[in-house]
Amino acid sequence: MKPHVLVCGGAGYIGAHMCKRLARAGVVPVTFDSLVTGHRNAVQWGPLEIGDLLHPGDLSAVFARYPIQSVLHFAARSLVGESVREPALYLRNNVTGTLNLLDAMRSAGVGKLVFSSTAAVYGNPLYTPIDEAHPAQPINPYGLSKWLAEQQIRAYCEAYGLRAVCLRYFNAAGADADGETGEAHEPETHLIPNIIRAALTPSLGPVKLFGNDYPTPDGTCVRDYIHVEDLAEAHLLALDYMAGQPGFHVFNLGTGQGNSVAEVLAQCQALCAGAPASEVQPRRPGDPATLVASAALAQAALGWTPRHGLDGILRSALRWHQGSGATAATARSTADR
């Protein structure tokens, strides 16, 4: 029988890429997703179980139904701005939801977990590039929720022998090389899809640049954009890593290369005949000025090296948005809920 991995949030942006990669590696990805933010049609590489992390019975049913060997946990609320407005939503989904998953894994005797964490746990960096030894001082409820979830996982590793890898993503972006899956949030808040949508659909108006008075070289925020396919690869390596390494581990996933909002816009304009236009808006609450990773630890421990840079990210995202994928996924998402 093929190995089975539970992918919580497998109908979401990063989870769907992961499922495709797992299937290619001969693993059955069992998606557990509420479809609140995920898309039914993104689940193409294994079974879909619709359920909610806040309903423990939904989780125990999935563990009873499939011979799950390990878990990849992507299911979370993930918008910084929304988290500032609705912290309760974030703490309940991301912290309590993770606790319920840990309990269900424990009851089912499943002992390996890869957790989607985030650079937002670091808050405003005290130095860059940020390594894993940097203090965790989240400045928004999203980052706080992921930090608290990590600490729960750590406690379960120490007390119950769970093996876990927390992967702190910097800015996930890009789309599948075959155009089968990509980023389709509604409403969309992320920079790269917003720039591409505005470039392809001028009636949407100019893209908004949130703040040009940050302490960065051009005044706009600097981020480390990492291709979603590189993230999926790191998760596969993390699964292998846990076979030989007990305990709790944390790795940053980024390229080590920072790009400002203005640079991303300019690079996209170069690909899109000068479009889109832009307009400067006030800062968005909760945004640190600069987030750039040191991913040296992931490279040394996991043997992980990102293959894509910003150009590959933008080209793949543009292809996805130009094809039917993004439009169809967005259109269907409302019907799925």
Q: Which of residues 86-105 bind ligand UDP (CB under 6 A)?
A: none
| Residues 101, 103: Cα–Cα separation, whole Å | 5
x-marked contacts with ligand UDP along 43-82 as a string, rule CB under 6 A: -------------------------------------x--
Edge-to-edge strand list for the sheet holding 259-260: 259-260, 222-223, 290-291
Site size for ligand UDP (CB under 6 A): 15
| Residues 148, 96: Cα–Cα separation, whole Å | 10
Q: Which residue spans within the chain are E strands per DSSP?
A: 4-8, 28-33, 48-50, 68-73, 112-118, 163-169, 171-173, 207-210, 222-223, 225-227, 248-253, 259-260, 278-281, 290-291
x-marked contacts with ligand UDP along 263-302 as a string, rule CB under 6 A: ---------------------x--x---------------
Residue 156 among the catalytic residues = no
- Whole-number minimum distance, CB 224 to ligand UDP, in Å? 9
Q: Are 182 and 317 in contact (CB under 8 A)?
A: yes
Q: Which residues contact 236 (CB under 8 A, 6 or more apart)?
A: 21, 22, 25
- Whole-number minimum distance, CB 45 to ligand UDP, in Å? 26
Q: Does 171 bind ligand UDP (CB under 6 A)?
A: yes
Nearer to ligand UDP, 62 or 173 (CB): 173
DSSP β-ladder status, 68-73 and 4-8: parallel
- Number of C-beta neighbours around residue 97 at 10 A: 25
Q: Does 242 bind ligand UDP (CB under 6 A)?
A: no
Nearer to ligand UDP, 209 or 268 (CB): 209
- Whole-number minimum distance, CB 148 to ligand UDP, in Å? 18
- Number of C-beta neighbours around residue 336 at 10 A: 16
Q: Are 17 and 308 in contact (CB under 8 A)?
A: no
Q: Does 223 bind ligand UDP (CB under 6 A)?
A: yes
- Whole-number minimum distance, CB 179 to ligand UDP, in Å? 21
Q: Which of residues 300-319 bind ligand UDP (CB under 6 A)?
A: none
Nearer to ligand UDP, 150 or 287 (CB): 287
- The residue annotated as part of the active site, out of 13, 66, 90, 142, is 142
Among 28, 113, 175, 261, binds ligand UDP (CB under 6 A): 261
x-marked contacts with ligand UDP along 115-154 as a string, rule CB under 6 A: ----------------------------------------
- Whole-number minimum distance, CB 231 to ligand UDP, in Å? 13
Q: Which of residues 180-209 bind ligand UDP (CB under 6 A)?
A: 189-191, 194, 207-209
Nearer to ligand UDP, 124 or 189 (CB): 189
| Residues 278, 207: Cα–Cα separation, whole Å | 5
- Whole-number minimum distance, CB 207 to ligand UDP, in Å? 6
- Computed over its alpha carbons, how large is the radius of gyration of the chain? 19
Residue 83, CB-side half-sphere exposure with 13 Å CA sphere = 23
Residue 260 pairs in a beta bridge with 222
Residue 79, CB-side half-sphere exposure with 13 Å CA sphere = 14
Which residues here bind ligand UDP, judged by CB under 6 A? 80, 171, 189-191, 194, 207-210, 221, 223, 261, 284, 287
List active site positions: 142
